[in-house]
Amino acid sequence: MTLAKATLKERTFILMAARTHTASLSERPDKREAILAAALELFAERGFHGTAVPLVAEKAGVGAGTIYRYFESKEALVNALYQQWKGVMLQSILLDFPHEAPIRGQFHAFWRRMFGFAQEHPQAFAFLQLHHHAPYLDARSIALEEASHQPARALFEETRKQQITKDVPPDILIAIVFGAFIGVARAAQEHRFALDEATLDQAEACVWEAIRR
């Protein structure tokens, strides 16, 4: 996979191409959305194998058979969901990202945008966590997952050269930063503390200390 060098625009294109199942001319996007929304909620709570398709249909207010007019199978549905939300997450982090700002400002943007997504779409965040590296994810989902690491790696390779961050392999810094992000976001979702501005800033300051030289 040479997604490494793919620009944001190209990745966006990939994302759009994911909508493969445009079978007929008069599709009902609202129904498709209803199915995806119901599936998101249920898959996030109970997992893929723990969620029955007829239950998704009921929650979507749709007949069970209708789901198969929009998705080839349950697997296709979960992959469509994964790709949709991974794409949304990527976009909400990368769209208009301040590449020219000072590094510390870029890190701030990164941090805030990640939490912005997790707070705005808590179910999608839980869903993406739960289905990370699941065996039923297809090649496109896995490629998207891989691609999502790329911007951070590029950033940390650059900051390492500039001796802004520690002289540590970027993959380790990424693991620490993303790990801390997920840890904080999850703890907040479990109501261990509130995710207000002050908390976000405190956590950001801590994690920046972890990586800065």
Partner DNA sequence: CGCGAGGGAATGAACTTTCATTCGGTTTCT
Partner DNA sequence: AGAAACCGAATGAAAGTTCATTCCCTCGCG
Contact assessment for residue 99 and residue 106, using Cβ atoms and an 8 Å cutoff:
yes
Per CB under 8 A, does 100 bind its own copies? no
CA dist 85 and 28 (Å) reads: 20
Per CB under 8 A, does 54 bind its own copies? no
Q: Which residue, 9 or 161, is less far from its own copies as judged by CB?
A: 161
Phi-psi region of 96 (alpha: psi -120 to 50; beta: other; left: phi over 0): left
The interface partner of residue 143, options being its own copies, DNA, none and the CB cut-off 5 to 8 Å by kind, is none
Per CB under 8 A, does 211 bind its own copies? yes
The interface partner of residue 139, options being DNA, its own copies, none and the CB cut-off 5 to 8 Å by kind, is none
Kindly write out the interface string for residues 138-177 of this chain, putting x where it contacts its own copies by CB under 8 A and - elsewhere: ----------------------------x-xx-xxxxxxx
Instruction: For CA atoms 52, 53, 58, 60, give the dihedral sign.
Output: positive
Q: Which amino acid is at 11?
A: R
Q: Which amino acid is at 151?
A: P
CB 125, min distance to DNA, A: 23
Q: Which residue, 50 or 102, is less far from DNA as judged by CB?
A: 50
Per CB under 8 A, does 31 bind its own copies? no
The interface partner of residue 73, options being its own copies, DNA, none and the CB cut-off 5 to 8 Å by kind, is DNA
Binding site for DNA (CB under 7 A): 23-28, 31, 49, 51-54, 57, 61-70, 73-75
CB 39, min distance to DNA, A: 11
Exposed e or buried b for every residue in 114-152, given b needs 16+ CB within 10 A?
bbebbeebeebbbbbeebeeeeebeebbebbbebbbbbb
Per CB under 8 A, does 135 bind its own copies? yes
Q: DSSP 3-state assignment of 213?
A: coil
